[in-house]
């Protein structure tokens, strides 16, 4: 009985230590979530302005002409930029992204040849083990990424598209809805054409719209050369920022669940310990009483 009580005491102490760690990690992840949400709000304002200009150009059908010209020497392959985390302890975040991405690829590509561009070690390792064609991988995105940090990813992806490695790019990630809910998104990001923009416009109600009836200086084609690369870059970076926000929320929720489970386990172990101690005390009292009665007789 003494060894059993000692083992329960050890488990209680170990579980309390684990709860301290998970509680501290929850606080850290919540702090990171607050930071990245502030950064995301400011960035969305920029994206809204750039998208408004590009949508105006779409009304002039310049995007369709540009898209057809840029795809003349491309391979016809479809690439999927899959955004996951580099580490664990993020709940079901990675498994949800990978499962939904596989379904998305099966729906859009089927058995056709396609490419995987992996941002995050979890996704890269998963698709390598499956024998997928992982044409590019990037690990080590910071907790609150800046555009300068992600610029190399954006530059590599856009240069692969420009050089004809693939003709279409879909970005697959978990979109942050709130601190509890996130939803998978599979968005077409390249080429940027009227069809892509109309889908974005229906999905994003915050995008400003500009009238296509005014004159522009310089010409619309000159503006397109400058704005279109910025827009493509903003889409990729925005997806990474959104996915990272969802990752922090998922990690914070996972650590909270772990802390709550630890509290439940501690309560159960303390109850078992108290019952065992009471049983030991009762046994000792019974033995003493029995011995006293034997002496009296």
Q: State what percent of residues in the chain have pLDDT above 70.
A: 80
Q: What's the N-to-C CA distance of the chain in angstroms?
A: 30
- DSSP β-ladder status, 168-176 and 134-138: unpaired
Tally Cβ neighbours within 10 Å of residue 23.
Answer: 16
Q: Residue 130 pLDDT > 60, yes or no?
A: yes
User: How large is the average pLDDT for residues 230-250?
Assistant: 86
Q: 250: number of CA atoms within 13 Å, CB side?
A: 25
Q: What's the mean pLDDT in 209-230?
A: 62
On the question of pLDDT at 101 being above 90, the answer is yes
**Of how many residues is the chain composed?**
297
DSSP 8-state code for residue 177: -
> Under 8 Å CB-to-CB from 132, ≥6 apart: which residues?
116
Please tell me the distance from the alpha carbon of residue 10 to that of residue 238, in angstroms, as a whole number: 47
CATH value of 2-23+255-292 in 1.10.640.10, 1.20.58.1610, 1.10.287.80, 1.10.10.10:
1.10.287.80
The Cα 223–Cα 226 span in angstroms is 5
Confidence class for position 205, pLDDT limits 50, 70, 90: very low
The pLDDT tens digits of the residues spanning 106-129 come to 998 877 889 999 999 999 999 999
Using CA atoms in the order 77, 146, 255, 250, what is the torsion angle rounded to 10 degrees? -40
pLDDT at 100 over 80: yes
Tokens of 9: 């005491």
Question: Is domain 29-254 annotated with CATH 3.30.70.2740?
Answer: no
Domain ranges (residues) in the chain = 2-23+255-292, 29-254
Tell me which of 81-90, 112-121, 224-233, 244-253 is least confident.
224-233
């Amino acid at each position: 009985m003494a060894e059993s009580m000692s083992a329960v005491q050890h488990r209680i102490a170990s579980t309390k230590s684990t709860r301290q760690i998970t509680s501290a990690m929850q606080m850290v992840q919540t702090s990171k979530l607050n930071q990245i949400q502030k950064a995301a709000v400011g960035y969305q304002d920029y994206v809204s302005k750039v998208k408004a200009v590009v949508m105006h150009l779409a009304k002039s059908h310049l995007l369709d002409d540009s898209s057809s010209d840029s795809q003349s020497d491309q391979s016809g392959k479809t690439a999927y930029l899959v955004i996951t985390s580099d580490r664990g302890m993020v709940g079901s975040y990675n498994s949800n992204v990978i499962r939904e991405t596989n379904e998305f690829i099966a729906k859009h590509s089927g058995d056709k040849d396609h490419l995987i561009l992996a941002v995050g070690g979890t996704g890269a390792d998963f698709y390598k083990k499956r024998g997928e064609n992982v044409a590019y991988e990037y690990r080590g995105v910071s907790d609150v990424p800046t555009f300068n940090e992600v610029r190399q990813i954006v530059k590599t992806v856009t240069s692969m598209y420009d050089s004809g490695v693939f003709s279409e790019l879909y970005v697959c990630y978990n979109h942050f809805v709130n601190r509890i809910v996130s939803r998978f998104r599979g968005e077409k990001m390249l080429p940027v054409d009227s069809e892509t923009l109309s889908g974005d416009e229906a999905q994003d109600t915050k995008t400003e719209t500009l009238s296509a009836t005014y004159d522009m200086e310089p010409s619309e084609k000159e503006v397109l050369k400058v704005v279109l690369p910025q827009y493509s870059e903003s889409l990729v970076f925005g997806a990474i920022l959104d996915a990272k926000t969802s990752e922090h929320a998922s990690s914070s929720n996972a650590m909270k669940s772990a802390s709550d489970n630890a509290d439940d386990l501690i309560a159960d172990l303390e109850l078992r310990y108290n019952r065992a101690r009471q049983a030991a005390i009762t046994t000792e009292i019974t033995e003493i009483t029995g011995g006293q009665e034997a002496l009296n007789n």
